[in-house]
Amino acid sequence: MKKGFDPQKYLEEQSKFILERVNNYDKLYLEFGGKLLFDLHAKRVLPGFDENAKIKLLHKLKEKVEVIICVYAGDIERNKIRGDFGITYDMDVLRLIDDLRSYELDVNSVVVTRYDNQPAATQFMNKLERRGIKVYTHSATKGYPTDVDIIVSDEGYGKNPYIETTKPIVVVTAPGPGSGKLATCLSQLYHEFRRGKVAGYSKFETFPVWNVPLKHPLNIAYESATVDLKDANMIDPFHFDAYNEVAVNYNRDVETFPVLRRIIEKITNEEAVYKSPTDMGVNRVGFGIIDDEVIKEASRQEIIRRYFKTGCEYKKGYVDLETFHRAKLIMEELNLKGEDRKVVLPAREKAAKIKEMQCKSEPCLAVALELEDGTIITGRSSETMDATAAVILNAIKHVANIPDEIHLISPVILEPIINLKSKNFGSKVTALDCEEILIALSISAATNPMAQLAIEKLSVLKGCQAHSTTILSTTDEQTFRKLGIDVTSDPEYSSDSLYYNE
């Protein structure tokens, strides 16, 4: 894939800008929006972007940085899932702590926000404290968002405990939106000023990109990624009034800015230094773009991927019809169709042939995968393996120049696994999924040089695109994710089974 983004230029520009901002204060509370690690959305829409650019940026500033992680108690209570990893928010906090430590960053503490003695949240706090992690709790802020006098008082932010910090930059991050990052930053600001310290607040939000046009596909892709949050990009009216300069922001930041500015002015007892929500940001990602056309096309493809994802989530009951309609309207706004994704038609054509041959009435599972050189590989389900497993085997055989007629996995290995699933585990689905086939292939590699050669080619699949004609199982989705393959699905189940489709 052509690169449209220069990660080194971005890293230099971003670190310089953050250091300039922190020089104005004794301490800067920096709210990190989006993904701190593994920002796959940014990687997809900005070809060349390092998915871990933010954490590497912080590593570069590690002597000046410590981290506070926020998690909303209600998200813990209802086991909210982080979609890109398939893990709950509380587990993502643990993962985040481990990853931050691996980059030599100090984790100050975890703040459980809007805590009201929820049992699951209490249990999670106990787990953290018994592993040596400091935990603070914040209750819902009295008077928020309208009564500034109550908010900025001992009855509001004053009720929250003060979090002791030692470094000039305090990054406040979270597993996802609505975790209480902003309230934590403002609460800390309140306590800092009561202690006679000059503290500041800034926001690091990668999208929307303030210095590219409002209707640029890059910014529209952000709307597509947040259809469930009902985010809408808009021109920042406060920025235009103050500077006569067009800047792009989004509805939630623009709507809350007047209140936020009043809160900061009440805390500091002086006029806010920020004249617009764009002013509060420290994001310089737009300056890393080196090929706008590459970015536009990558963003269009991401919008199509998001459309398929939202369609499947609607089918599963995760989002409402209005959310799916918003995803569809975004597609129509850019005159995009699902078939503009190169792997969609080959997958559907493969499924149609299978259906015709087998005289089936229900949808057929077929998967198409596009290799880096543009070659399309397809796979279909069989009694031995499902279509995801078949397409992966076919793809690595193609890349390794192994003829189709050569079997990589001996029946001596496959049959015991199938028997184990059916007889010992009582599984009604005996065809091996993608993960099971790859494990079987790894076993074969011990005695079969061809299998070993195929295994070595798995890394070539990272960044490839794939499409399935039916909704994939959670296991297959996770396996594709681990392989680095961007997979989409038509919003159809392969059978009428309710439990066994999951």
- Read out DSSP for 184-215? HHHHHHHHHHHTT--EEEEEE--SS-TTS-TT
Q: Which residue has the tokens 């199938």?
A: 418
Judge whether residue 363 has pLDDT over 90.
no
The domain of 484 spans 344-489
Q: What is the DSSP string of 115-140?
A: -S--HHHHHHHHHHHTTT--EEE-PP
Q: Where is the domain boundary, 181, 206, 231?
A: 206
The predicted-structure confidence for 260-269, as pLDDT tens digits, reads as follows: 999 999 999 9
In a domain, 495, yes or no: no
- Mean pLDDT for all residues in the chain: 93
Q: Which residue has the tokens 């459309």?
A: 307
In a domain, 415, yes or no: yes
Confidence grade of residue 359 (pLDDT, cut at 50, 70, 90): low
pLDDT of residue 284: 93
Give every CB contact of residue 377 below 8 A, 6+ residues apart in sequence: 368, 369, 370, 371, 391, 394, 395, 398
Q: What is the pLDDT averaged over residues 257-282?
A: 93
Judge whether residue 361 has pLDDT over 70.
no
pLDDT of residue 80: 85
Q: What is the pLDDT averaged over residues 49-57?
A: 92
- Rounded Cα distance between 221 and 58, Å, is 26
Give just the sign of the alpha carbon dihedral 467, 468, 470, 473. Answer: negative
In a domain, 296, yes or no: no
pLDDT of residue 499: 62
- Rounded Cα distance between 259 and 383, Å, is 61
Same domain, 49 and 198: yes
Q: What is the DSSP string of 150-173?
A: HHTSTTTGGGSPP----SSEEEEE
Higher pLDDT pick, 332 / 318:
332
State residue 310 phi and psi, 5-degree precision.
-65, -35
Q: What is the pLDDT averaged over residues 3-20?
A: 92
pLDDT of residue 225: 94
Nearest to 223 by CA among 328, 298, 66: 328
Report the CATH number at residue 384.
3.40.140.40
Q: What is the pLDDT averaged over residues 266-293?
A: 94
pLDDT of residue 501: 56
In a domain, 497, yes or no: no
The predicted-structure confidence for 150-200, as pLDDT tens digits, reads as follows: 999 999 999 999 999 999 999 999 998 889 999 999 999 999 999 999 999
- Rounded Cα distance between 306 and 315, Å, is 14
Q: Where is the domain boundary, 206, 235, 268?
A: 206
In a domain, 67, yes or no: yes
Judge whether residue 36 has pLDDT over 60.
yes
Report the CATH number at residue 37.
3.10.630.10
Q: What is the pLDDT averaged over residues 50-65?
A: 93
Domain count, the chain: 2
Assign 222 to helix, strand or coil. Answer: helix
Q: Are the CB atoms for 29 and 200 separated by under 8 Å? A: yes
* 380 token code pair: 């279909």
In a domain, 95, yes or no: yes
- Rounded Cα distance between 347 and 337, Å, is 15
The predicted-structure confidence for 102-153, as pLDDT tens digits, reads as follows: 999 999 999 999 999 999 999 999 999 999 999 999 999 999 888 999 999 9
In a domain, 409, yes or no: yes
Q: What is the DSSP string of 61-112?
A: TGGGEEEEEEEEHHHHHTT-EETTTTEEHHHHHHHHHHHHHHTT-EEEEEEE
- Rounded Cα distance between 427 and 419, Å, is 10
Give the bridge partners for 170, in sequence order. Answer: 29, 66
Judge whether residue 502 has pLDDT over 90.
no
Predicted TM-score (pTM) of the model is: 0.91
Q: Where is the domain boundary, 206, 223, 247?
A: 206
Confidence grade of residue 498 (pLDDT, cut at 50, 70, 90): low
Tell me how far CA of residue 263 lies from CA of 176, 189, 278, in angstroms.
24, 10, 17
Higher pLDDT pick, 205 / 453:
453
CA angle 276, 279, 282 (to 5 degrees): 150
Type and span of the H or E element at 251: helix 251-268
In a domain, 335, yes or no: no
pLDDT of residue 356: 81
The predicted-structure confidence for 402-447, as pLDDT tens digits, reads as follows: 998 898 998 889 888 888 888 888 787 788 999 999 999 999 999 9
Q: Which residue has the tokens 């597993």?
A: 175
Give just the sign of the alpha carbon dihedral 155, 159, 162, 168. Answer: negative
Q: Are the CB atoms for 347 and 467 separated by under 8 Å? A: yes
The secondary structure of residue 319, as a DSSP letter, is S
Judge whether residue 500 has pLDDT over 60.
no
Nearest to 126 by CA among 97, 160, 90: 90
Neighbours of 217 (CB within 10 A): 24
The predicted-structure confidence for 437-457, as pLDDT tens digits, reads as follows: 999 999 999 999 999 999 999
